[in-house]
Amino acid sequence: MIHSSLENILMYRKILKEVLSLPTAPFAEHYVIDYVERFCRRRPGVELVRDKAGNILARLRQGRRKIARPVCITAHLDHPGFVSDKMIGKSRLKAFWRGGVPSEYFVGSSVRFFVEGAWIKGRVRSIKEKALPDGRVRVDTAEIDVRAEVPSGSIGMWDFPDPVVRGSRIFARGCDDLAGAAGMLCALDELVRGGHGCDAYFLFTRAEEVGFVGAIAATKLKTIPRKCFVVAMETSSERPFAKMGDGPILRVGDKASTFTHAVTAHCHRAARELAAEDKKFKYQRKLMDGGTCESSAYCQLGYEATGLCVALGNYHNVDAKRKKLAPEYIDLNDFDHVVRWFVELARARHAYTGRDDVLDEQLRQLEKGYRGLLARSLRGPA
C-alpha cells in the first residue's frame, strides 16, 4: 500500500508550483519541455525520447515482472496564450493568439510576455478575428501596448502572478494542463524513490489547445507503443455534478465521444482498491461533456483510451460569474489523489486485459445462479 507521506506531499507541492510558474502557449512549450527533460534525466531508470513533433515520452521500468499491456499516461504542455510576432512601433506589439477564450475578454486586459527570464507587461489595444473551418470565430492576432521591446517568438500570458495556495486550492496563470503534467512528474518521482515495480509510459504532448495537434502527431509517429492503453489527464471545467474537492474524476467520455469501456473499467478498479485501502482516498466517475479532450482523439485514431481529470475553476482564465479574466485554480487534495491513481496504474497490480473483468465475473455469476430457474420456468407451473 502507498501512503501519501508528508515527504511526498511536500515534493508534490514543489513540483506543482515550479511547473505552474512556467510560461507556455501552443507551439511554444519549450520552457516546460526543458523542465520535463531535466526532471526525468535526474531520475535513475527513466528512459526519455523526444519525437519528431516535439512530444516527450518517458518510460520507467522497475522489477522483473513483465507487463504485457502497460499504461501510457498523457497530458499536454500548453495553455491558451500569445506568441509575439513583431514590434510595430516603439511600444506596440503585434502578437498571435492561440487557444479558446471569448473575444470580449481581450481588449483592455493586462498581459505579460516572458523575455530573458523576466516579464514585460502590456495591455491589449485591439484584436482581429478569423473564422475557423467549423464556423466558429476566434481571436487571431492582437495589438498590445507594452512597456519595453518584446522579441519575436516570446510567450505571452494573462497578467497573473506566480502560483499561490489559499486554503486547499492553488491559483495560477494556467492549470490547464500544466497541473496534469506536474501530476505525472510527481508520480514518476514517487515511483523512482519508492522502488515500486512497474512498466509505464508518460507522454507529454504539445499544442492541444488548438486541436490535439501533438496527440495526433504522436499517433501518426507511433510514439505511443501499440501495446499500451492510454489514460489522458486533463483539468476539466467544474460541473454541478462534478465538484472540486470530491476527488479526481474518471471520465467515461467528453463532449465528442465516450471512451474505451474496458480501459475506463480498469481505471475504476484501481480507484476502488485504493479507496478500500484508504478511506481518505476519494474519486468520482462522470461524463465530463463540457468540452473535447485528447482521449477522444486517441480512441478515434486507433488506441484504447480513457481519461482522468481534476475539476478546474475559471476554465481558460474566464471567471464567468464576474465576467472577467482570473487565475485558474484546482483543489490540492484532488491533485494528490490523482497522483496516487497514476502510481497505482503504473504499478499494474492487475493486468489490463482489454475487457471489464469485474463486469464479466458479475455476469457469469448471474447466469450461473439463475440458469436452472430460467430453464425450469419454461415448463410452466408444476
Q: Count of residues for the chain?
A: 382
Q: Which of 232, 234, 220, 357 is nearest to 302 (CA)?
A: 220
375 belongs to a structural domain: no
What is the rounded distance in angstroms from the CA atom of residue 371 to the CA atom of residue 382?
A: 18
271 shares a domain with 191: yes
Domain end marker among 123, 158, 193:
158
Q: Is residue 51 part of a domain?
A: yes
CA distance 68 to 228: 8
Do residues 253 and 308 both lie within one domain?
yes
What cell does 320 get?
464567468
CA distances from 199 to 12, 266, 282, 283, 336 (A): 22, 16, 25, 24, 21
- C-alpha cell of residue 192: 523512482
| Prediction pTM value | 0.95
Same domain? For 118 and 211 the reply is no
Q: Verify that 202 and 216 share a domain, yes or no.
A: yes
Q: How far is CA 58 from the centre of its chain?
A: 16
371 within some domain: no
Three cell numbers, residue 301: 485514431
CATH classification at residue 88: 2.40.30.40
User: What per-residue confidence (pLDDT) applies to 382?
Assistant: 55
Same domain, 325 and 275: yes
Do residues 214 and 311 both lie within one domain? yes
Cell of 94: 503585434
Q: Are residues 193 and 306 in the same domain?
A: yes
Domain, as residue range, for 124 = 81-158
- Residues 199 and 303 placed together within one structural domain of the fold: yes
Both 231 and 318 in one domain: the answer is yes
In a domain, 369, yes or no: no
User: How far, in Å, CA of 101 to CA of 109, rounded?
Assistant: 12
Q: What is the pLDDT of residue 376?
A: 87
Domain boundary pick from 125, 158, 191: 158
Are 225 and 327 contained in the same domain? yes
Q: What is the pLDDT of residue 1?
A: 37
Domain membership flag for residue 27: yes
320, part of any domain = yes
80-113 as b/e: b if 16+ CB within 10 A: bbbbbbeeeeeeebbbbbbbbbeeebbeebebbb
Residues 102 and 214 in one domain: no
CATH code (residue 182): 3.40.630.10
Indicate whether 1 belongs to any domain. Answer: no
What pLDDT, on the 0 to 100 scale, is given for residue 6?
Answer: 81
- The x, y and z cell numbers of residue 208, run together, are 492541444
**Residue 125 shares a structural domain with residue 136:** yes
Give the largest CA-CA distance in the chain: 98
Q: Single out the residue in 95, 123, 158 at which a domain terminates.
A: 158
Count the domains in the chain: 2
Question: Would 116 be classed as within a structural domain?
Answer: yes
pLDDT in tens, the chain (382 residues): 344 578 888 999 999 999 999 999 999 999 999 999 999 999 999 999 999 999 999 999 998 778 899 999 999 999 999 999 999 989 999 999 999 999 999 999 999 999 999 999 999 999 999 988 888 889 999 999 999 999 999 999 999 999 999 999 999 999 999 999 999 999 999 999 987 789 999 999 999 999 999 999 999 999 999 999 999 999 999 999 999 999 999 999 999 999 999 999 999 999 999 999 999 999 999 999 988 999 999 999 999 999 999 999 999 999 999 999 999 999 999 999 999 999 999 998 889 999 999 999 999 999 999 999 998 898 877 5
- Quick one: how far is CA 283 from the chain centroid? 16
